[in-house]
Amino acid sequence: MRIYRTRKFPTKLFLLILIITIILLNPKLITGFKNFTFGILIKPLKAISGVKIYFKRIKNLSEENLLLKQRVASLSIELTRKKEISLENERLRSLLDFKNKEFPHYKTIISKIIARDSTDWRRAIIINKGARDGIRKYASSATAKGLIGTVVEIGPSSSKVMLITDPNSRVGVIIEPSRESGVLIGSPEGECRVIYLSLDAKIERGDMVKTCGFSAFFPKGIAIGTVREIGLEKTGLYKYAVVDPFEDMGRLEEVVCIDTD
């Protein structure tokens, strides 16, 4: 005798079919299911899109920031350049006024410093004017503040000026108000001093030193500096005076060359 067993319909499958049937028979449920499913899918997409937009904004801000920095740098360079031109014009006006006021009867040439002595900047400078411009050997060189040196070498378009701080420099000077005369020399240390001052010379700190005009190369009355220190030579025969030049030899940029011939 055969025994037939009835198979039980799967409960889970039955429930799934029932839910699908109910949904299909009710349009509102279909719409709700669609919205629910769409909402689940769209949220991650929106999040991913938001992240992309965020990083795109960050990139744009970085690019704008870089452009702004470049612009600021460009404006800073332009401002520095204009300031330098303004300062140069001011220095040139001072030199022009100086030469017109002090040396109206001498030939003068304004020059720019283009180089310095490679061994010691306190010894010499190179200017951008030479024989073709009318520069002559032994012409004195000065700024609006005072004497700085003498032309010692000349090329076609440049010249070498020996500074008054060079140990080989020699300039005849007078000290005011005593009118005591002496010779201004340089030193290896870059100092200036007046030698051959008489023992009874009445000199004080702060007295002004000027060219005396005894030499054919230096016009009379060019300011040089002030006395800082007074001492006795080792021989005991003369006094000397250490002089602080009015012009800083390390900051020269333009000079005027004075031809006394």
At 189 the pLDDT is 87
At 199 the pLDDT is 92
At 71 the pLDDT is 76
Q: Is the pLDDT of residue 80 over 60?
A: yes
**pLDDT top residue among 146 and 117:** 146
Query: CA–CA separation, 98 vs 82, rounded Å?
Result: 24
Looking at the DSSP bridge assignments, the partners of residue 116 are: 125
Checking DSSP bridges between strand 208-211 and strand 192-197, what pairing results, if any? unpaired
* 132 exposure class (CB count in 10 Å sphere: 0-12, 13-18, 19+): exposed
| Highest averaged pLDDT of the listed ranges 20-29, 166-175, 212-221 | 166-175
At 53 the pLDDT is 73
Give the range among 72-76, 113-117, 222-226, 254-258 with minimum mean pLDDT. 72-76
Query: CA–CA separation, 95 vs 143, rounded Å?
Result: 6
For the stretch 23-71, pLDDT in tens is 555 565 556 655 656 556 566 656 666 666 766 777 777 777 777 777 7
The amino acid at residue 67 is L
